[in-house]
Amino acid sequence: MRIVAGKFRSRRLQGPRGDALRPTSDRLRETLFDILQPVVEDSFFVDVFAGTGAVGLEALSRGARRVVFIENHRAALGLIRANLAALGVDSGAEVLALDAARGIELLASRGEPADLIFLDPPYALGQEYERIVKLLGRTLLVAPHTPVILERSRKLALPERFGRLGRVRVVEQGDAALDFYLRQRKE
């Protein structure tokens, strides 16, 4: 696993041992950031279910102003912190050792909407998509311009709408897919 592009390009990241975590592949991250490139620079990026931190670290590498990693799995938190240290990141990154819902609520209470939000729950926890995305749609963390991007297994079908958020794009690659949601005017 490595950083695909930007100031940390080609730098290796520590990855998980065993099957407890499933990091976003280099190829899928490259596709994601090819799509996000026009808006990632100087953005406030939130990486929910951050795992190894690879997606948020890619955002930092490509010029995000600030990245918040939300993760509560102890081994994953260690990987995020180790990867931040290995890259020499000492500002612009915050690690919230909280479950997704509590992390989102804490960020929302600060009053600053995110520019980009990425969620990658464990594929086995399919019910988390609905619970967390509906929560996001009710917070001020998601502004009208804020894409909420979900990584999922291609085998999992997601609805067109999650409360206030409606799907605007789907990108499939290999066994994975990315769904892009934006706040809609009506529920």
Of 114, 172, 178, which is closest to residue 140 (Cα–Cα)?
114
- What domains are defined for the chain? 26-183 (3.40.50.150)
> Which residues are within 8 A (CB) of 88 and not within 5 positions of it... i.e. 6 or more apart?
none
Overall pTM surpassing 0.85 (yes/no) = yes
pLDDT per residue of the chain (187 residues) written in tens, 0 to 9 = 778 888 988 788 877 665 555 667 778 989 999 999 999 999 999 999 999 999 999 999 999 999 999 999 998 999 999 999 999 998 999 999 999 999 999 999 999 999 999 999 876 666 788 889 999 989 999 999 999 999 999 999 999 999 889 999 999 999 999 999 999 876 5
Contact 126/151 with Cβ under 8 angstroms?
no
